[in-house]
Amino acid sequence: MTATGGKIVYELMPELTKKDEDRLLRYRGQSLRLLQDAMDEVRASRWDRCEELLWGSLTLAVKGVALGQGKELDGLKAVESYALELGQEYRDRRIRESFTKLSSFGETAEKVRESRIRADHLVQTLEDVTGAVERLWNLAPGGDLLSALLRGDMDEPDQPDELEEMDGGLLK
């Protein structure tokens, strides 16, 4: 949905193929796993590794949104440009500035290691990029479902799903 000149225009999401749906789910899973791993690296003060994981998580999130809108992004420049476009379209500073902030992350981490500054700037970048990744996944198909799951708003299923049935029962 976009507001243009006082009118609300509903944008239809393209119909995704099964292959694209699977790829979108894979991107989402990998992106969120990388984001969690980045948090773990922060706790251990491994800033270099954290930066790599954040780049991966953010890149996959942008590619996931693009895929959900029927677009293929090839290369980091295309991903960064699309993130900037999305940030402007949705008026979200975190998305708009995410790659720019990450590009100076390593230099700031070096200064932190040399004890010239505190880690506050790194933590702020981490929070901004995390917020951008979460917002991006909310923009992708199924994002509202993901948000409900992460908030714990979804009830536990009464019946086992297909994977649980194939595995011989509920996962313990």
pTM for this model (two decimals): 0.75
Answer yes or no: is 6 within a domain.
Answer: no
Evaluated on CA atoms 129, 66, 64, 136, the torsion sign reads positive
Q: What is the pLDDT of residues 111-168, one digit of tens each?
A: 888 876 677 888 899 999 999 999 999 999 886 655 555 555 544 444 444 444 444 4
Could you tell me which of 125, 83, 129, 134 has the C-alpha nearest to residue 105?
A: 125
Q: What is the CATH number of the domain that holds 73?
A: 1.20.120.330
Tell me whether residue 34 is in a domain: yes
Which tens digit of pLDDT belongs to each residue from 20-78? 999 999 999 999 999 999 999 988 888 889 999 999 999 999 999 999 999 999 999 99
Tokens, residue 130: 């995390």
Residue 69: per-residue pLDDT: 93
Residue 3 lies in a domain: no
Q: Which domain holds residue 41?
A: 19-143
Confidence of residue 6 (pLDDT cuts 50, 70, 90): low
Residue 11 domain flag: no
**Residue 118 falls inside a structural domain:** yes
Asked if residue 14 belongs to a domain, the reply is: no
For the chain, helix (H) and strand (E) counts, in that order, are 8, 2
Work out how many domains the chain is built from and give that number.
1
Establish if 126 belongs to a structural domain.
Answer: yes
The answer to whether position 26 is within a domain reads yes
Compute the distance between CA of residue 125 and CA of residue 135 in angstroms, rounded to an integer: 15
